Amino acid sequence: MRHSPLSCTPSCIPLIHSAAALHTPIATMSDLQQGMGLVIATFHKYAKKENDTAAPTISKADMKLLLQSELGTALDTGNDPSKVDQIFKDLDANADGTIDFLEYATMVACICMVSNELMQ
């Protein structure tokens, strides 16, 4: 069982026609495709692999850097280390000390949901 409420349901998988669709030139992508590509690229900008077979994850130090560099104006941490620590603890759903893609995607989805509410 996954450790997050987010999952890729079988009904959404056919929407991705092929792996080639993920490598579409950015100029021909829709706004949503470009946004998803940026979300994925941002994860990999900060993620590292423990070894060749491990999935990339973001360390606590790199997650702090991501939060400050990529979301500094959106998150009101006020450079308070305890707030960043609490965010990391909340994101690390499986408590392994790193942020995997699912945990990162959950954060992005939650921020989108809150932003949507604020924009109403």
Q: How far is the CB of 85 from Ca ion (least distance, A)?
A: 14
Minimum distance, C-beta of residue 120 to Ca ion, in the bound complex (Å): 32
Does residue number 50 form part of the binding site for Ca ion (CB under 5 A)? no
Quick one: 2 or 16, whose CB is closer to Ca ion? 2
What is the CA 88 to chain-centroid distance, rounded? 12
Buried-state track 47-78, b at ≥16 Cβ within 10 A, e below 16:
beeeeeeeeebbbbebbbebbeeeeeeeeebe
Binds Ca ion by CB under 5 A, chosen from 58, 66, 92, 106 = 92
In the complex, which residues of this chain contact Ca ion (CB under 5 A)? Answer: 92, 94, 96
